[in-house]
Homo-oligomer: A and B are copies of this chain.
Amino acid sequence: MTPKTLFDLPTPSLVLDRAKLARNIRRMAAACARNGIALRPHLKTAKSIDVAHMVLDEQTQGIAVSTLCEAAYFAGQGIRDIQYAVCITPDKLARVAAIQAGGAKIALITDSVEVARAIADMNGVIDAVFHVQIEVDCGENRTGVLPHSDQVGEIARILDAAPNIAFDGVMTHAGHSYACRSLAEIEALAETERLAAVTAAEAVRALGIECNTVSVGSTPTALYARNLDGITETRAGVYMFGDVFQAQIGSCTLDDLAVSVLTDVSSHRPDLGHLTVDAGALALSKDRSTEKVANDVGFGLVGDVAGRVIAPQMIVERVFQEHGLVHMPEGQRLQDYPIGHRLRVYPNHVCMTAAMYDRYHVVDSESGNGTDIVAVWSRVNGW
């Protein structure tokens, strides 16, 4: 029997509210339009062609991805402009070429002189043109070359000179915007991000090398940047769904959260004041992003089956592999949540949680009642 409502699904299952997704997409599109900047949606969170179809339009054609599995999946679905936004390693080049053979362009990134040379060395070995960008570090301290370093020019020269490489520009990622706790901090960091990318682009141009792409992005900086002069595109991904952590740092509100985990109450412990749900560490992930923000929600914030948050302190406070222990705050009674009662848990970090599922069960809290299943959308996981 095809499940018609959330009451027909096995638990745990992943639920996506299409109305909230659409609203989040409109909000980011408006922010980008305000800044006159092209958006390159990052599909590392959604990993779904159905979500991509909602976010792509005449102005928004290219995407970013975080795995070659995603690149192959989206290329196979007809998306032609894909940025693989994780440092390339030479042993992945044959796979990139195979994906490109279907007609897509995969922009690669690197922060390494050695990798730039290794790609150039594939000339005559792999029959492909590789599109390569330089990753710049704007302060995240993860990967990337520093914007003022000599490596920017050195890598650009190697990429520009290689007959099998189309040098594609520079990119940076202000992932440390997640540590910002005020709008002023995010605005300042967006400017730092912009400057890093523009500085690197200017260094490349000073060598007489064209630098077409100057790419920045993270959900907070994409939403709140005030000046994007010199930038050609911004990337963001988690904004489509939102999560409790993003709500706490101000990227969205709790009412914007589009993804939740459907779960059943499975046990009561009146002596301990908790109930157990059948969504545990695997169903929710062990991400603890909210540990360091104002309202720690443990492993997730509990909503009712229609997706309404019940109480700010009704959270999954402990997890085991398949058990989530829900704290019952003042005013909540176990008997109101009998075993088999369905709830929806909003995750801390939706990228981690969604990755445990191979599909979205789509509901619509605006055009529908929020519990009827209006579609089932696939996801691509793994590498």
Contacts and interface: CB of A to CB of B under 8 A. Distances in A.
A141 interface: yes
Contacts of A12: 383
**Most B-side CB within 10 Å, residue of A13, A68, A115, A175:** A115
B142 A276 contact: yes
Contacts of A358: 382
A328 interface: no
Contacts of A175: 320
A212 B124 CA distance: 71
Nearest to A382: B358
Interface in A266-280: 266-269, 271-272, 276, 278
**Most B-side CB within 10 Å, residue of A175, A264, A269:** A269
A11 interface: yes
B288 A114 contact: no
A13 B264 contact: no
Contacts of A361: none
B143 A338 contact: no
Contact of A287 (B286, B318, B357): B286
Contact of A143 (B88, B91, B323): B323
Contact of A325 (B142, B322, B349, B356): B142
A95 B142 CA distance: 46
Interface residues of A, number: 64
A182 to B, nearest CB: 23
Contacts of A355: 282, 356
B271 A146 contact: yes
A264 B89 contact: yes
A312 interface: no
A155 interface: no
Interface string A1-42: 000000000111100000000000000000000000000000
Contact of A283 (B265, B357, B383): B383
A168 interface: no
A115 B323 contact: no
A349 B280 CA distance: 14
Nearest to A358: B382
Contact of A276 (B87, B266, B283, B325): B87
A339 B112 contact: yes
Interface string A89-108: 11110010000000000000
A322 B90 contact: no
Interface string A279-294: 0011101111000000
Nearest to A338: B114
Contacts of A118: 339-340
Contact of A322 (B67, B271, B285, B356): B67
Given A87-B267, A142-B276, 10 more contacts: A44-B321, A66-B321, A90-B340, A91-B264, A112-B268, A114-B338, A114-B339, A144-B267, A282-B355, A285-B285
15 contacts: A10-B92, A11-B89, A12-B383, A44-B321, A44-B322, A66-B321, A86-B278, A87-B267, A112-B267, A114-B339, A142-B276, A142-B323, A143-B267, A282-B352, A285-B286
